[in-house]
Structure 1
Amino acid sequence: MSIYPRLKKWGYSVQPSDGRSRVLFLFESGRSESTWKKRFLNGEVADEYPYGLDPKSFDDWSISFARDYFTSGIWSLLRRALRKTVRTDVIHVLFNIRSIYKSDVVISHTEDTCVAYLLIGRFFRNLPPIVAQVVWAGETQNLNVSLQSRLARFSLRSAEVVVTHSTLNAAALSQWLGRPVQVAQYGIDPSPFLRNRKFAADSKRSHLNAEVNSAPVVICAGNDPQRDWDLLREIAVHRRDLSFLVCSRTAPITLNDQVNISVISNARFSDIINIYAVSHCSVIPLKENKHASGLTVALESTAAGVPFVATSGGGLEEYFSNSYRGFISGDCVEDWSRAIDYAISSDGRADLLESSSGLIYDRELTNIGYGKRMLACASDALSTADSVKSEEA
């Protein structure tokens, strides 16, 4: 029996009072609006709202965010067991079921919520349509016969819209799922970096004298599993004349054993902003991937006026102009060394920054642009759901 009639009895409106479609961003646990605001006030993140998606910036939609429910006792044990078994947060989605039924359409952020949502939809009738944003499921190492992979494939086939961040990942997912997959390019809020750019534009640069002994500063930021920390270590060994500042919660602490690497695992956003301001270039060494890993750091570097050097492939290049010379094929340390020298040199820095100048705003690779693209996908999901209902009528 559908829970929807009971929700109406509890006083939940069937239609939005102001005529706008209601969208729920079903982010992972720990990314609710209230939790995010606390992190913002603590200087940990750049924006007051999750991923800069301020509801006031999207007048045509009534936007809300999933709440955090921190479990204990039997619920905590069940939650951990389910996450270990199916690698998706079923309990988090179940606890948000009322918010889900109050919405017209749901947008997920990763497989952590969308797969759980679609599995639950097999038991709860009349769930709103979903825009299932997928990040990792299309990676080669995940296209196997594991229980988690089969559940993801089974679930995602029933989503109204499946979306990802790169055409490379979309092609892999489409082939794997046997259905269309859309691309919605990601974006960041560039304003905090632009405000600090006057420091990054200083040709003399500050050098954090006490910490890095006046050596040129290279920032390496990022937390995703596709960072190639072994390659970074090799580069640092080869280039002892450079100081590498690693801002990451996931980087191995053993990187600190290398004399010219400093790992800052608890850096706040305000700290990272200041490190960009004194950095000569940014390096983004990556393992093989399809989901444009390293994109956030590449966009941050661009907004901060810091040239970046990154591993080519993985869908990252499609965000930048073909003339950008900061992409390196393979893991040859000498190639990376030459690319870093070019990025640090006056001519190289000017060339790389000119190639990416204005790119974030011209291509709307901003948080607002990203929100608009996801909401366009939400419109598609609503249209798809309406079409299905018409056919069933």
Structure 2
Amino acid sequence: MTQPSTEGEPERMRIFAHLAYGFDARQWEEKWRDGRLLGLNEPRPYGYHHAVEHGCDVVFSTDHAESFIGHSLRGFLRLVLGFDVLHAFRNRHAMMAADVIWTHTESQHFAVSLLLKQRSATHRPRLIAQSVWLIDGWSRLHPHRQRFYRWLIESADVLTFLSPVNASVASALFPGKPCEFVQFGIRADIQAAPRAGSVRSPLRILAVGNDRHRDWECLVSAFGNVAGFNLTIASQTIRTDLSSYRNIAVVTPRDNEALKLLYGAADLMVLPLKPNMHASGITVLQEAALFGLPTVASRVGGLDGYFRDDDVCFVEPGNPTLLRRAAQAFAANPQLSVHFASRAQARMRADDLGSRAYVSRHVALSHELLRGSRRRGEQASHQADERSATGSEPILDHAP
């Protein structure tokens, strides 16, 4: 918990960022320095280290070395429970020394919640439980698994989501539990000016991503072997057979510089998505904006909670004809590209869509939780004093 401050110095809030195994901050930084982290990433995971700028001390979860038996046990428990409790258990000492615990996905916050069940509500850190895929898959969970997860969610002080759709659905699923939409943001200190002038022919389209909700079939149907378009797909997860398409290339960028070259060579980003509720593709959407690249995207997942219709060309999901028509509009009007790319960049500035703002929202939520904890503690102390003074329990008023 927060240590008493020295005279004249404000208390520093202690944050523990519990992330998935494999996201050790030291390993992350090494990959970032070597350019092996693809995209506009921060030197520490998700930029959570920026909380230091708000007077916080930040500790990240550590990947502990494990034997074959330990690795197997951790995998078995994750398979049975649906989350990585052993990784959280190994980090329990640093975790319980914090004032507030931040998690990035439900796999982490369920594990933390299970550990917090062993602590009284007044003698444990507060928990900001962020979920990504939980709500999308909730209806498919077995009722026993749903009840188990509801029991774990009781330990969370606030549920946060990167999508307004997720937050809205969660509010109905978990009445009485605070649910907050927290806008995600990436490193936004680098911006490339949108390119002016004529668009090249054929139009060079780029599609990026590994998320399970990418609609590659719709994308290929829209542009495969269609004159006037060259399509490059940067993905490690696409399984669609593309051998019969002469204008489609699938690449796997080996490092960040290779990915930046792809962005620089493209005229248009296309983000085809299947219906989802977790803002699939928001990282790519923000990267495209910062690289000065206009985007055509499926209107799903709450992406329009970040960008408006004048910033991103949104189209109905699963409709290759509309996807192709939108791209044709950009090919026919070069100024349309400049307009959308400029508007998307302006939106990121106006709404502060960056990692620093994302972290500052977590800090603000953390302060709110600690203020609430102090008020509850003061009330409990006051009630205890009253009981001590009267020598009896307070009389409760009962409704008729």
Whether these two folds match at TM > 0.5 is yes
Per-residue deviation, 1:148: 4.1
Whole-angstrom distance in 2 between the partners of 1:265 and 1:70: 30
Per-residue deviation, 1:92: 0.9
- Cα deviation 1:249-293 (Å, max 9, x = unaligned): 322274466332222234422222221111101011111111211
Whole-angstrom distance in 1 between the partners of 2:316 and 2:276: 13
- Cα deviation 1:124-174 (Å, max 9, x = unaligned): 554311100111111265454355433322212331111112221111011
Equivalent residue number for residue 83 of structure 2? 88
Residue 28 (structure 1) aligned with residue 20 (structure 2): yes
Per-residue deviation, 1:237: 1.9
Whole-angstrom distance in 1 between the partners of 2:138 and 2:185: 26
Secondary structure of 1:36 counterpart: helix
Q: 2:97 aligns with which of 97, 102, 114?
A: 102
Q: Which amino acid aligns with 1:175?
A: A
Query: Any residues of structure 2 matched to 1:288-367 within 5 Å, and which?
Result: 288-324=275-311, 326-344=313-331, 345-367=333-355
Q: Is the 8 A contact 2:273 2:317 kept in 1?
A: no
Equivalent residue number for residue 31 of structure 2? 39
- For the aligned residues, what is the CA RMSD? 2.5
Q: Give % identity.
A: 24
- List gaps (5 residues or longer) in structure 2: 382-400
Per-residue deviation, 1:390: 4.2
Equivalent residue number for residue 4 of structure 1? none
Q: Which amino acid aligns with 2:308?
A: S
Q: Which amino acid aligns with 1:105?
A: V
Whole-angstrom distance in 2 between the partners of 1:147 and 1:229: 34
CA 1:136–1:392 in structure 2 vs 1: closer, same or farther (change >3 Å)? farther
Whole-angstrom distance in 1 between the partners of 2:67 and 2:242: 35
Query: Any residues of structure 2 matched to 1:201-212 within 5 Å, and which?
Result: 201=195, 203=197
Equivalent residue number for residue 181 of structure 2? 183
Per-residue deviation, 1:353: 2.4
- Cα deviation 1:78-130 (Å, max 9, x = unaligned): 11111111221111111111111221111000011001110121235543111
Query: Any residues of structure 2 matched to 1:105-124 within 5 Å, and which?
Result: 105-124=100-119
CA 1:305–1:76 in structure 2 vs 1: closer, same or farther (change >3 Å)? same
Query: Any residues of structure 2 matched to 1:129-168 within 5 Å, and which?
Result: 129-139=126-136, 142=139, 144-168=141-165
Per-residue deviation, 1:321: 2.4
- List gaps (5 residues or longer) in structure 1: 1-11, 208-213
Give the number of equivalent residue pairs.
371
Secondary structure of 2:54 counterpart: coil
Q: 2:268 aligns with which of 281, 290, 295?
A: 281
Tell me the TM-score normalized by structure 2. 0.85
Residue 385 (structure 1) aligned with residue 385 (structure 2): no
Per-residue deviation, 1:31: 1.4
Residue 48 (structure 1) aligned with residue 35 (structure 2): no
Q: Is the 8 A contact 1:138 1:176 kept in 2?
A: no
Secondary structure of 1:106 counterpart: strand
Whole-angstrom distance in 1 between the partners of 2:293 and 2:25: 31
